[in-house]
Amino acid sequence: MRTNLRGRTAAALAWVFALAAPLHAQMDMQHDMHMPEGPLGIPETRMGSGTSWLPDASPMHAAHLRLGAWTLMLHGSAVVQYDHQAGLRGEARVNLIDWAMLAASRTVAGGRLHLRGMISSDPWGVGSRGYPLLLQTGESDRGVPLHDHQHPHDLFMELAALYERPVARNLAVSLYAAPVGEPAVGPAAFPHRPSAVDDPLAPIGHHWQDGTHITFGVLTAGVFTRTTKLEASIFNGREPDEHRTDFDYAGRALDSYSARLSVNPGPRWTLSVWYAYLKSPEALHPEESLHRLGAAALMAQPFGGQGQWAMALIYGANARIGTGRLSNSVVVETNVDLDGTNTVLGRVEYVRKTAGDLVVASVPPETAYDVGALALGYHRALTRVAGVTAGIGLRGAVNFVPSMLEGVYGSRAPVGFAVYCTLRPAGL
Ligand SMILES: [Cu+2]
């Protein structure tokens, strides 16, 4: 255990420096380049994960570089954290959670082509068991569903091509093809959401809301105006398996589908609603398929002189086909950068999870529980060198379980905390 911890810490530090070096080189070449605009004059800050929209006023943490006709952009985030979850299902570990995305875009035939590659070292920095997070569920390790841990993300988080082209003065079409990518389901995924930018831990409603963000096989077509986008996807509905470094096709077709409507009524807001049919998402329960639906409001706006305030309200629900029951989740999260240095963050969640989800063996698996979590944190940017910001953070959480689960968690309100260091490109 201790050797493991030491190994992880060393691996974590090595990655932090590995990530920092190329960022440094990129930023030196960047200087005062303007961010390119997309079709219909839509600002680049609106581009969220996959084909999702963010508020136009979202901060952009990326390094830009012009290479001939191509604009290259490097996004990323690396967090080393000591994560301590208390109680009977708690655990304490050091993890490295990271992702890095290289995006290249250029004009092609009157439209804009984007090529994206995003990778993560989670398979090693987090490990197959995931990082401790009370009440978190979803995906598996060694043939057993994960519980009270957030699964690692896959080495390949996205390999995608997106083409957007105007067809009239205020109308454009888009096509997204991704061997690995995000279908039109949910809001922008939490690792890429401005309201969660300084919070390294996942929402416990991840698999009720934005859990499809790494999908092996996605095709999405969209039509959009300056303010409104309607999209439809077909995709492989199976969640990533526990082998985190390969491509999880396993003979699956694009057997699931979704539709999403997004509206940016002004520079500060993104409103969206979605529906998805997920065919057999879980390898451990291949007979089960899901309806997933939800709605989200994302907000971003400048705060004070140099600050930035982002917030999200997300509702997501799953209904196992055949049960007729809707299991709901709600999260409100906020990230208030007070002055460009000090950030206060918070997240409040409610999710309805079953004994099957939480791996409580003593009762029938359909037994449902209302669980919740309240997290508060503080992040401070320490230095900004060559376009890279390093910071430290502290996050505490209280979780809420019903009395039926008191014996399982050792308390009605088990707690957790994390101390963490962050590294990412500075905002432009
Ligand atoms: Cu995820």
Tens of pLDDT, residue by residue over 327-382, are 999 999 999 999 999 999 999 999 999 999 999 999 999 999 999 999 999 999 99
Measured from the Cβ of residue 219, the count of other Cβ atoms closer than 10 Å reads 16
**217-221, 244-248, 263-267, 402-406: range with lowest mean pLDDT:** 244-248
Q: What is the pLDDT of residue 62?
A: 84
Residue bearing the bigger pLDDT, 31 or 233: 233
Residue 377 Cα to ligand 1 middle (Å):
21
Rg (CA), the chain: 21
Q: What is the pLDDT of residue 30?
A: 37
Distance, in Å, from the CA atom of 428 to the CA atom of 9, rounded to the nearest integer, reads 31
Residue 166 Cα to ligand 1 middle (Å):
32
User: Quick one: the chain helix, strand, coil %, rounded to 5?
Assistant: 15, 50, 35
According to CATH, the topology of domain 2-425 is Porin (2.40.160)
Global pTM reads: 0.91
Instruction: Name the phi and psi angles at 125, rounded to 5.
Output: -70, -30
Residue 219 has pLDDT above 50, yes or no: yes
Residue 324 has pLDDT above 90, yes or no: no
Give the distance, in angstroms, between the CA of residue 129 and the centroid of all CA atoms in the same chain: 18
Residue 169 Cα to ligand 1 middle (Å):
37
Residue 213 Cα to ligand 1 middle (Å):
6
Residue 155 Cα to ligand 1 middle (Å):
12
Residue bearing the bigger pLDDT, 15 or 175: 175
Residue 207 Cα to ligand 1 middle (Å):
8
Q: What is the pLDDT of residue 12?
A: 44
Residue 198 Cα to ligand 1 middle (Å):
16
Asked if 27 and 388 touch (Cβ cutoff 8 Å), the reply is yes
DSSP state at residue 153: P
Share of the chain above pLDDT 70, in %: 91
Closest CA to 422 of 396, 376, 391, 387: 391
Residue 214 Cα to ligand 1 middle (Å):
7
Residue 343 Cα to ligand 1 middle (Å):
24
Residue 100 Cα to ligand 1 middle (Å):
15
**Torsional class of 314: left (φ above 0), alpha (ψ -120 to 50), beta (otherwise):** beta
Residue 172 Cα to ligand 1 middle (Å):
30
Residue 153 Cα to ligand 1 middle (Å):
6
Residue 33 Cα to ligand 1 middle (Å):
32
Q: What is the pLDDT of residue 397?
A: 98
